[in-house]
Amino acid sequence: MVSLPLAVLLVLPAFSLADPIHIPLTRRAGNWATHTNHLAAADFARSRYGYGSAAPSTTKRMQRRAGGAAGLPFVNQEGDSSYFGTVTIGTPPQSFNVILDTGSSDLWLADSACANCDPTTPVYKPDSSSSFVQKSQTATQISYGSGAVAGFVSSESVSMGNFSLTNQGFLSVEQTSEGLLSGSVSGIMGLAFVGISSTQTTPFWQGLISASQLEAPLMAFWLTRFRGANNVKEEEPGGAFTLGGTNSSLFQGDIEFINMAGPSTPTFWLLSVSGITVQGKAVTVATGDAALAAIDTGTTLIGGPTADVNAIWAAIPGSSKVGATMPGYFQFPCSTTINISIAFGGKLWPIDPADMNLGPGQGTARSMCLGGLFDLTLGSNIEANQGNPTWVVGDTFLKNVYSVFRQNPLSVGFAQLSDFAGGSGAPGAGPSVPSTATAASATTTSALVPLLIVALSTALAQLF
C-alpha cells in the first residue's frame, strides 16, 4: 500500500521525500512514511467517508461456555502505518496477512489470477482449495480516485487462530491498482458492519458471534508505536489483537464503554466527539450527530471536519496550512509539543505528542513539522443526521488507548494502556454531555450509498 503511482507524480516542495527512517533489507524499500504518502492517504480516507470491564453478556455466558477468546498474531507495518493479522483460508488452509480494519466490512484477498498484482504479493490459490465456491459470475469492482480492485464474490472456509467459519463470503481479487498492496500483505479483513459491505456479506467477526464461537462479543486492540523511533523495520510487533475478549494485562483501570452513535442500522463503528482540548484548553467543536466519528484501525491518522480542524490548529501557535501541495494538512514549529485530547461522551483521552508529529519538511521548511490531524471534509457541505462520519479517528489516536469494539450492547470502549503495553496518559474528566451519548436516529439506506464505494480505499488508507 505504498508507492501509488499517484504519489510519484506529486511535486511537494516543502514535504517531499523527507524520510528519516531507514528500511533494512526487506522486500520493498518503498518510500513509506513519507509525507507524499500522507497526502494520498488523506484522499483515500476522504473517499472512504464519502467526501471527494468487558464482561460478556450474562445470558450468553450462561447459555454457552464453549466459546473462547484468543490473542492473535499482530504486526505493525511501515512505522505505524497499518496493522495486520493472519487469516487462513481454504482446504487445505492457505495463510495470508490481512489489514485488520474496523473501518470497512469486506474480506478480500488477491488471488492467483491477479494479473497486475505486485509479483511479491502472496496470493490465494482458489484452484488449490476444495472449499472454494465462486458465488457470482459477474465481477464486483470497487472504484476510487485513481484506481480500483475487482474480483468475484466467493465463499470459503476462513479461520483466524482457532476460530473458523465454513461459508465465509469474500472477494477473490483479480485486479488491483498498481502498488495497492505492500510488503507481505495480501488483502483486508473488514471488521465493521454488513451495512457497508460491498460484497453484502456478514463480516467474519459477526459470523463468529452468531456461531457462538466467541466467549464475549468483543474485539480488542493494543496498537504499538514506532513513530519517532530509530531503525524501524518494515514489520515490527503490532501489539495485540484479541478476538472474543479482552486481555487484562494490556490495560489498567476501567474500560469506558460509550454507546454507538449514528444510524440505527450500524455501518461503521461510530461515536460522537463530545469535546476536544488543545494544550489543555477546550476548543469549540461541533458535537452530537454533527460530530460522528468512525473509530477506524485501518486509517493511519485523524481526519475531521473543516471548521473543527481549523479551530484546533488555530490553538497551536505558529501553525499554518501546508497549502496547495498538501490540501487539508497543517504544519507547526517542530519545537512545539502538541497535546490534544478527545472525548466521545466520557473522559478526555490524551494523544501522545509523538503521534501528532509526522516529522519535518525539507530545506527552508525544515523547522516546520507535519501534523497528524488533517481536514477530512475540505469544506464539503456535510449534512448532519445522515450517518456520514465527519471524523475518522485512526491509529494516531488508537495507539494511545486499549480499544474494545463490542457487539452487545453496541459500543466502543477505551482504557488506559498498562505499563506492560507501554502505558498511556491518564484520561481527564471530559466535558459534560447532555443526556446520553446514544443517537439512534433513523437513517435511510440511500443516505449511506456514498459510503459503499470504499471497501477498497481501505487498502489505500494504509498508505501513510
Ligand X SMILES: *[C@@H]1O[C@H](CO)[C@@H](O)[C@H](O)[C@H]1NC(C)=O
Can you give the binding site for ligand X, defined by CB under 6 A? 68, 70-71, 162-163, 213, 240, 242, 247, 249-250, 279-280, 337, 339
Phi, psi (degrees; rounded to nearest 5) at 109: -140, 140
Q: Which three cell numbers stand for residue 298?
A: 485501518
Q: How far is the CB of 341 from ligand X (least distance, A)?
A: 10
Q: Which residue, 38 or 225, is less far from ligand X as judged by CB?
A: 225
Q: Which three cell numbers stand for residue 232?
A: 524501524
Q: Is 61 helix (H, G, I), strand (E, B) or coil?
A: helix
Of the candidates 186, 231, 181, 187, the one whose C-alpha atom is nearest the C-alpha of residue 79 is 231
Q: Which residue, 47 or 213, is less far from ligand X as judged by CB?
A: 213
Q: Is 101 a catalytic residue?
A: yes
Q: How far is the CB of 84 from ligand X (least distance, A)?
A: 17
Q: How far is the CB of 350 from ligand X (least distance, A)?
A: 7
Phi, psi (degrees; rounded to nearest 5) at 206: -75, -35
| Closest residue to ligand X in the complex (CB) | 68
Of the candidates 246, 250, 305, 234, the one whose C-alpha atom is nearest the C-alpha of residue 276 is 305
Contact of 1 with 459, CB cutoff 8 Å: yes
CA dist 75 and 86 (Å) reads: 9
Q: How far is the CB of 337 from ligand X (least distance, A)?
A: 5
Q: Which residue, 166 or 249, is less far from ligand X as judged by CB?
A: 249
Q: Which residue, 92 or 318, is less far from ligand X as judged by CB?
A: 318
Q: How far is the CB of 131 from ligand X (least distance, A)?
A: 18
Q: How far is the CB of 298 from ligand X (least distance, A)?
A: 22
From the candidates 296, 308, 352, 355, give the one annotated as an active-site residue: 296
The burial class, CB within 10 Å (0-12 / 13-18 / 19+), for 334 is middle
Q: Which three cell numbers stand for residue 53?
A: 470491564
Q: Is 296 a catalytic residue?
A: yes
Residue appearing with cell numbers 490465494: 124
Query: Strand runs (DSSP E) across 284-390, as ranges?
Result: 292-295, 302-304, 320-321, 330-333, 340-343, 348-351, 357-360, 368-371, 373-375
Q: Which three cell numbers stand for residue 269?
A: 463503528
Q: Which residue, 280 or 363, is less far from ligand X as judged by CB?
A: 280
Contact of 308 with 276, CB cutoff 8 Å: yes
Of the candidates 443, 407, 401, 441, the one whose C-alpha atom is nearest the C-alpha of residue 425 is 401
From the candidates 101, 106, 308, 355, give the one annotated as an active-site residue: 101
Q: Which residue, 26 or 162, is less far from ligand X as judged by CB?
A: 162
Active site residues per annotation? 101, 296
